[in-house]
Structure 1
């Protein structure tokens, strides 16, 4: 299975996107859609050209469907994501969970790169990886995601010809994975029915996420998550010492009681801990 994941990661690095077929059982997707049905019905249409006036969107899916954790923490998806992102961070973080419903008559979305929400240098690192989980089959006619193959290699080009885009047919249970540096956009829906999907994205652990996870999943919610999921939504430090609470890992907030007074505790990378230890020894005269 690791070899298969390496193949998927290779395709993702080469083309900027790939399809992981039959990533989960169809029953998992059907159950999640059933959990979200009422929310889809009650959510108003978006406002603004980018989100789309004929589109519905809502987030915080981990509180709306317990089975959403199956998608967020999918071990093989995480392996692919980590191959893409771990060269530039110690741990990845959840950037977004969002359900999307594109209604008939919706126009194509503005082509964009999701990484452009962060104003850092582009081309030398990847900021995030998106995973689109269809709830209904994605096709060209119903607004399936448009992708520009290889667009991640020349990120200074903001727009490419529409005829160069591809719309892969992706079915429920499949996962469409694409880089934050890949030019993409939702398609126009010329069919008579809405197109539904879920996008889950992961970013470098030291970035501020698109969906502010600590407010979406406050301690009283996150304490019911598994330790791994809680860490993914932000209840973990990114060494050195980033994202702490009173100098400690924010997971302390998930306990039954939180002490009023806490000692700050180093959270360093191994190389930094070694350098700090060497410096201390030099100050104590233990090294010459």
Structure 2
């Protein structure tokens, strides 16, 4: 595992540049196939039990379910992949104080599944288009992704400012992947699942990260309430929402919601400022002036 991750780390700057330049990039052998197989095994019963989706967008020959961190310990290894987290933070940090987990979702695309409507995931928030990146997606295949079984279709260079323009006449690319590979694409990149014309089911998972001040796609606090999140590593608990986004967003009783993970009593809490450095400096200057006025 260390050797494989080292090879990914060596390509990290190039991968980030490629993601920003064309709207997507592929990290080959980003994760051990044994871990991917173990995660697929852990989720086998959930795949067996989950009904097909309803509606043309999700796909009526498709299964989807979330809460992967509560279903398998191996899911945390994907979510906390250090190189991919570094890429996501580099892309998103200009517009937020910290990033957050947007979702973990397992997907099974069955034979005869229709191609998905091409879409941009950032459109769920209806914010300004073209100036901000809201999201970084990571597709992790559990089985080989091929053009015939519905590999993800990507429209290169459809991201960023191009997302605010009329759709260009761009031919999509079917991104073929093997277990252990990772496909990264921006929330502004036009994409969609291909149709499954094969006789085999295509399984995988998507992990995505978004700006820390957005409402995430998956309600993380219901997916991972304190009794579950208290067993997470602190950095994983923070990523799913048990931290504040300065200034003071996502607080619990005026404090960081991480207090819920180790709090043994029900004593009342006092609110504590959680401000950006510029705001903290402004507040300190204001308080100093007020105290000076009070003494005069």
Q: Smaller-chain TM-score range?
A: over 0.9
Structure 1 residue ranges without an equivalent (≥5) = none
Structure 2 residue ranges without an equivalent (≥5) = 1-5
Aligned residue runs from structure 1 range 226-237, under 5 A: 226-237=233-244
For the residue of structure 1 that corresponds to 2:39, the secondary structure is: helix
For the residue of structure 2 that corresponds to 1:98, the secondary structure is: strand
Aligned residue runs from structure 1 range 228-267, under 5 A: 228-267=235-274
Distance 2:214 2:174 in 1: 30
Partner of 1:155: 163
Tell me how far 1:194 sits from its aligned partner: 0.5
Question: Does the CA contact (< 8 Å) of 1:73 and 1:229 recur in 2?
Answer: yes
How many residue pairs align between the two structures?
285
| Pair 1:209 & 2:216 matched | yes
| Pair 1:23 & 2:19 matched | no
Tell me how far 1:20 sits from its aligned partner: 0.8
Q: Provide the TM-score with structure 1 as the length reference.
A: 0.96
Q: CA 1:240–1:5 in structure 2 vs 1: closer, same or farther (change >3 Å)?
A: same
Question: Does the CA contact (< 8 Å) of 1:111 and 1:159 recur in 2?
Answer: no
Moved over 4 A (4+): 157-161
- Encode CA deviations 1:98-137: one digit per residue, 9 max, x unaligned: 0000000011000000000001111111001000000011
Distance 2:266 2:46 in 1: 38
- Encode CA deviations 1:31-67: one digit per residue, 9 max, x unaligned: 0000001111111011000000110000000011111
Distance 1:171 1:160 in 2: 30
Q: Provide the TM-score with structure 2 as the length reference.
A: 0.93
Distance 1:20 1:160 in 2: 27
User: Which of 7, 13, 27 is the equivalent residue of 1:6?
Assistant: 13
Question: Does the CA contact (< 8 Å) of 1:133 and 1:199 recur in 2?
Answer: yes
Partner of 1:128: 135
